[in-house]
Amino acid sequence: LKIGQMLRTKDMANRHCAARKSIVDHCTTFIVSMVVLCVLAKFRDAFPLNYLILCIWIFALVVSVPPACFLIIFHQDRPENDIEELFPSTMHNLSGRENFNEFLKLYWPNSIAIRDRLQSHRKLFVKAGLLASILSLSLIILEFQFKLSSTHVEPHLTSLRIAFSCWWSYSLLSGLRFGGYAVTESQHSFAGILIFCLYIIADTGKFMLHRDYIMATVVLSLDVTVLFLQSLRWAV
């Protein structure tokens, strides 16, 4: 019994360590991608430099996805009795060298362990990836074929997108609650899928009209990435 409890405690500590690293990695890549995006906005018409910067930005976006995936899975699998803080404030009374060693131990664990944990949920990633790919490709083809964002349907799609976005954002900021109603993760992620499906239609039509392929790639990449993450939340 004691051995089992020790193993569970060690596994929980490893999960917390991996979650801390994922948060740091995700924040770092987000900052890098925002800096690259600002540079891209400045040189968006400087061919071929703009396409080189665009490739760097897409790479930074792709690198930011695995940490976000791990955090989604960590949040869903976290036991209710797990109340340990992810970022403990225990390093203030340590010396400089001890502080640095403690920082490395907290925020730079073995990346192989994180990779193994992600690989153990491979079926979930395949399911979410297929759902996001099918939805995004279908919606882009639908917009190319029928140009929904240029017809009388567009105001209704915009109103629906704004309404869903307001509800989704408010319930997220209020701790998955809307008034006195508790919103489940499944409901919230399903609403997120609907929202970004509507954004894909709107953004495809907008940038088809202006033929701004750089911004079309940026915006649609963001839409599809968030659609994949919401699909993963829904699939977990």
**49 and 87 part of one domain:** yes
pLDDT tens digits, residue range 20-30? 677 777 788 88
Q: What are phi and psi of 147, to 5 degrees?
A: 50, 55
The better pLDDT of the pair 120, 129 is held by 129
Contact indicator for 202, 94 with CB cutoff of 8 Å? no
Written as six digits, the tokens of 177 are: 């609650």
Give the structural domain span for 217.
122-236
**32 and 133 part of one domain:** no
Which of 120, 142, 164 is a domain's end point?
Answer: 120
**105 and 157 part of one domain:** no
Which of 120, 135, 164 is a domain's end point?
Answer: 120
**55 and 146 part of one domain:** no
The better pLDDT of the pair 77, 118 is held by 118
pLDDT tens digits, residue range 149-187? 777 777 888 888 888 888 888 887 777 766 667 778 888
**132 and 98 part of one domain:** no
Q: How many domains is the chain built from?
A: 2
Collapsing DSSP to helix, strand or coil, 137 comes out as helix
Residue that has been written with the tokens 């489940």 in this structure: 184
Burial class (CB in 10 A: 0-12, 13-18, 19+), 90: exposed
Per-residue confidence (pLDDT) for residue 147, from 0 to 100: 83
Helix (H) or strand (E) holding 67: helix 49-77
For the ranges 18-22, 31-35, 203-207, the lowest mean pLDDT is seen at 18-22
**81 and 29 part of one domain:** yes
Contact indicator for 72, 64 with CB cutoff of 8 Å? no
Give the chain's mean pLDDT. 78
Query: What is the spatial distance between Cα 17 and Cα 5, in angstroms, rounded to a whole number?
Result: 18
pLDDT tens digits, residue range 64-106? 888 888 888 877 766 555 545 555 555 445 455 555 555 555 5
**128 and 97 part of one domain:** no
Mean pLDDT of 194-202: 91
Query: What is the spatial distance between Cα 216 and Cα 232, in angstroms, rounded to a whole number?
Result: 24
Widest pairwise Cα distance in the chain = 67
Written as six digits, the tokens of 197 are: 């499906």
**79 and 108 part of one domain:** yes
Q: Is the pLDDT assigned to residue 135 strictly greater than 70?
A: yes
